[in-house]
Amino acid sequence: MKLKLNIPLTITLILLSLFVFIPMISAFEFSLRTPGKGGYGWDQYLWAIREEDFLYYIIRSGWLAALTVVITLVVLVPTMTWLHLSKSTIRPLVDGISLLPLVIPVVAFAVGAQISFPEFVQNSVLELPFLYFVLALPYAYRTLDIGLNSIPLKTLTEAARSAGANWLRTIITVIIPVIKSAVVGTVAITFALSLGEYTLTVLLHWDTFPTWVTFVAQENILGAIAISMMSLVIPFLVLTAVTLVAPERSTQGRK
């Protein structure tokens, strides 16, 4: 089959790629420099790996992000399924509420959390995943919304229920697999957003990978960039893992 070249689309894609990749390539080039010796080397990467805190913070941020993903899916998938099925008049209201994290400044959000949360919650790092969930809500909500809008949700759930599936099994065995690409998108967005969240974490006086990178950058900027480059690989690996765990099954029209 001859591939037709869509010139405006190709130009847009090239410009967009340049916009995304030039800073990354530049940062990578910068992180490979070896001051004093000249030329390039892996010195900064070796230094980062040898830093004992590197692994500690990457694991800490990793499980916090993973927990955020779990909270997001457990709260959002059943709630949104119910909203879509019930034809409820509160759906536009919930749509609006889900956008609030975009307009409320993080500083106000952090202060609000500090004032309203009881002390035992504030003393636990477990408060972060719940707050990250709120920050990721606008993106996670819209991604799942698109997924649920694209399937005959009512008929599928009724078919599953009449065949003997209760609500939980209907969600797990039918809805989530059918909107898999939306779920994978939600997982990726929420994980990446939680892993890189900085402002709220600092304001609440917690240390995670992004705050540690900032700390390291104060004494070794090249090392900090090397660490950031390595941290870019993690969401990529997570995305690949999620996609592999749930193999793609075509749900296209008849061929």
For other proteins, which is the closer residue by CB, 92 or 253? Answer: 253
For other proteins, which is the closer residue by CB, 64 or 178? Answer: 178
| Token couple for 231 | 């941290």
For other proteins, which is the closer residue by CB, 182 or 226? Answer: 182
**CA-closest candidate to residue 135, choices 198, 53, 222, 82:** 198
In the structure, how many helices (H) and strands (E) does the chain have? Answer: 14, 0
Other Cβ atoms within 10 Å of 15 Cβ, number = 10
Contact residues: other proteins, CB under 8 A: 151-152, 155-156, 158-166, 169, 173-174, 177-178, 180, 249-255
Q: Least distance in Å: CB of 178 to other proteins?
A: 5
User: What distance in Å separates the CA atoms of residue 222 and residue 30, rounded to the nearest whole number?
Assistant: 7
Q: Least distance in Å: CB of 87 to other proteins?
A: 11
Q: Least distance in Å: CB of 233 to other proteins?
A: 30
| Token couple for 51 | 């830093």
Q: Least distance in Å: CB of 249 to other proteins?
A: 5
For other proteins, which is the closer residue by CB, 67 or 175? Answer: 175
In whole angstroms, how far apart are CA 234 and each of 38, 77, 170, 230, 240? 30, 25, 32, 7, 10
User: What distance in Å separates the CA atoms of residue 250 and residue 122, rounded to the nearest whole number?
Assistant: 45
Q: Least distance in Å: CB of 248 to other proteins?
A: 10
User: What distance in Å separates the CA atoms of residue 76 and residue 95, rounded to the nearest whole number?
Assistant: 12
For other proteins, which is the closer residue by CB, 166 or 218? Answer: 166
Q: Least distance in Å: CB of 130 to other proteins?
A: 31
Compute the chain's Rg from CA coordinates: 22
CB-based contact 149:73 (threshold 8 Å): no
For other proteins, which is the closer residue by CB, 35 or 253? Answer: 253
The total number of residues shown for the chain amounts to: 255
| Token couple for 79 | 């709630």
